[in-house]
Each structure stands twice: as structure tokens, then as C-alpha cells.
Structure 1
Amino acid sequence: MSGGRLYDPGLQPERTSLAWRRTALAIGVGSLIALRVLPAIAASPELSGWWLVPGIIGLGFAVLLWLAAQARMRGLNAALLDDSPDRLPGAGLLVALTLFVMGCAAVSAALTLLAVWS
């Protein structure tokens, strides 16, 4: 690009923002389902309160993900409009999402094993 702006304010930033919103919404809905289903299948009464923890953590993460994605998009748009690619946000949000999903998989496996062995 010779002499032009670095940033084309097309629909790509909006699509990315919508994708992050859908991801946060999916985590929130999955967490609500976990809050509804996990206590119903609790194998032992002494663990009944612990079955709520994954759903509550998931709801909290969904809200934080939504807010962080909005802040990231505002920062990204500001950096691109100022033609300063050195201020572009990193991949921290994606790393956080990956770690959350891996943690959910580990907790799900542990809860499944608890339910099977009880």
C-alpha cells in the first residue's frame, strides 16, 4: 500500500467482535446448563455443593470474556485508526480462552470419573 491508510474500516472488526460475543454467550449458556444438570446427577450428597462450582466459574468467565473482548475491540480499532500497528493487542484473550476450555475438559473428566466410581 503506497501512501494509503493501514486500516480499512470494513466489516471485519465487527465480525470479529460478534464472534467473541457468540463465544461468550455459548460459554454462558453451557454454564447455565451445567448449573441445572450437574446437581441433578450428583452421586453423593457430600459433594452436592461442589457440583455447582463449574457452572458458577463458567458464568463468571463468560462475563469477563465478554467485557475483555469489548475492551480488546475498542483498543484494536483505536490502534488501527491511528495507524500504529505497534499498539495492537496481543493474543492474551485467546490464551485465556484456551486455558479455560482445557480446564473445563479436565474438570469434566474428573466429575465424570467421580460419578462413575461412586
Structure 2
Amino acid sequence: MTESAPPTPAHRDPGLQPERTRLAWRRTTLSCTVVAVLAGRQAAIEQLTVASLVAMALTTFVWLGFLGVAHRRMRTVGSSPSPGPMSVRAAVTAAACTVALAGFAVAMVG
């Protein structure tokens, strides 16, 4: 019985991993969109004050930032059979957008 050598990086078969990663980014983007829409709805149902308009504008800005990071990552994963790791800047931006949306949610509910 002969043992085969492990695949070299040049012959790596990524399988479905890039597709799963792209789908995960799509689900996360959809969740982020739902949060932004519900935050806007909550602010509109209450009464439109300067604070609620600022919160809606900040939520939209953060949502657009996250959407940009996610779209760039999905495009990178889809275009290469072996995409590199996410840049530190993109990871920090995605994490900051997530934390900011959570903070805005707490501020709007409270």
C-alpha cells in the first residue's frame, strides 16, 4: 500500500469552502440589513426628533460600511480558488460596524 503525499499549495482543492464563506457573508449582510431597517422603523414609529434622525443616519452609515466590507470580501473569495486571509483593516471595520449597530440598538431601545 503506497501513501500519497499531501497536496501542495499549488494543487490545493478548496472544495466548497469559498462558497460557504461567500454564503456566510451574504447571511451576515442580510442580518445587518434587517437590523438597520428595524432601527429605522423604530425611530420612525416613535417621533422624529433630531436624536432619532441622527441615529438613523449613523445606522445607515455603519450599514453601508459593513456592506462595503462584505461585498469586497465576497468578491475576493469568489474570484480566487485560494483567497488570502481578510485584511486587518477590513476585519476591524466589520467588527466596529457590528459593535456600533449593537450600540445604536441599545441607545434606541433605552
Judge conservation of contact 1:17–1:70 (CA < 8 Å) in 2.
yes
Identity score, percent: 23
Ranges of 4+ aligned residues in structure 1 off by more than 6 Å: none
- Greater relative contact order, per chain length (Cα 8 Å cut-off, separation 6+): 2
Alignment of 1:61-72 (within 5 A): 61-72=65-76
Q: Which runs of 5+ in 1 are unaligned?
A: 81-86, 114-118
Question: Hey, what does 1:94 align to over in structure 2?
Answer: 91
- Secondary structure of the structure 1 residue equivalent to 2:38: helix
> Which consecutive residues of structure 2, in runs of 5 or more, have no partner in the other structure?
none
User: Secondary structure of 2:69's partner?
Assistant: helix
- Number of residue pairs the alignment of both structures matches: 104
Q: State how far apart, in whole Å, the 1-side matches of 2:66 and 2:107 are.
A: 22
Normalising to structure 1: TM-score of the pair?
Answer: 0.66
Pick one of 94, 101, 104 that aligns with 2:101. 104
Question: TM-score scaled to structure 2, two decimals?
Answer: 0.69
Q: How does 1:1-118 map to 2 (within 5 A)?
A: 2=5, 4-6=7-9, 7-42=12-47, 45-74=49-78, 77-78=80-81, 80=82, 88-92=84-88, 93-113=90-110
Contact 1:31–1:54 at 8 Å: present in 2 too? no
Considering only aligned residues, what root-mean-square deviation do their CA atoms show, in Å?
A: 2.8
